[in-house]
Structure 1
């Protein structure tokens, strides 16, 4: 798999994971805690868990192809657990991979 393919897969996974997390945090959880409706959290939470696993795999493949430092990969992986962070990380990773630079370092 080329870096371009790994980057494309990572970008898709980052967006899908980010959208899933936003739905979970800003729609499903309020429905549970304000309206007593726990089913959306169960469904969306499970979906986000599966999507996050795909995000992990895509991130690790890209990290291996681009020879990221392990700490850089961990920080990018954590972005999938913070609402909106996966979108920010995706933009930074895409820009730096296309420029051939280190993901988090100054290189």
Structure 2
């Protein structure tokens, strides 16, 4: 999995999706219900770093695989949906 750029991209896609779900499902409720913003700050930083890695790897893999701009834009937009990264991996990245 880690020997190719696509393998790294799939790994980062899944990790970014997990971090997003944790941020929305754990971080935000903890912040607003318990008044503790520390978890949100930590999860947000992790998610932000993974999102940047996701975007850079999307550009790199998309150019190497000669994906259309529309396909890369669709993958990028789908990553904003909380479970979109898992759909991306299942529907698009496993086929490549």
With the length of structure 2 as denominator, give the TM-score of the two structures: 0.89
Counterpart in 2 of 1:21?
20
CA distance in 2, matches of 1:75, 1:32: 31
Counterpart in 1 of 2:88?
89
Gaps of 5+ in 2: none
Gaps of 5+ in 1: 98-107
With the length of structure 1 as denominator, give the TM-score of the two structures: 0.81
CA distance in 2, matches of 1:64, 1:71: 12
Q: Tell me how far 1:81 sits from its aligned partner.
A: 2.2
CA distance in 2, matches of 1:31, 1:12: 27
Q: Deviations over 1:27-47 (max 9, x none)?
A: 000001111111111111111
Which is further off, 79-88 or 44-53?
Answer: 79-88
Contact 1:55 1:80 in 2 (8 A): no
Which structure has the larger Rg over C-alpha atoms? 1
CA distance in 1, matches of 2:13, 2:93: 11
Counterpart in 2 of 1:105?
none
Q: Tell me how far 1:80 sits from its aligned partner.
A: 2.5
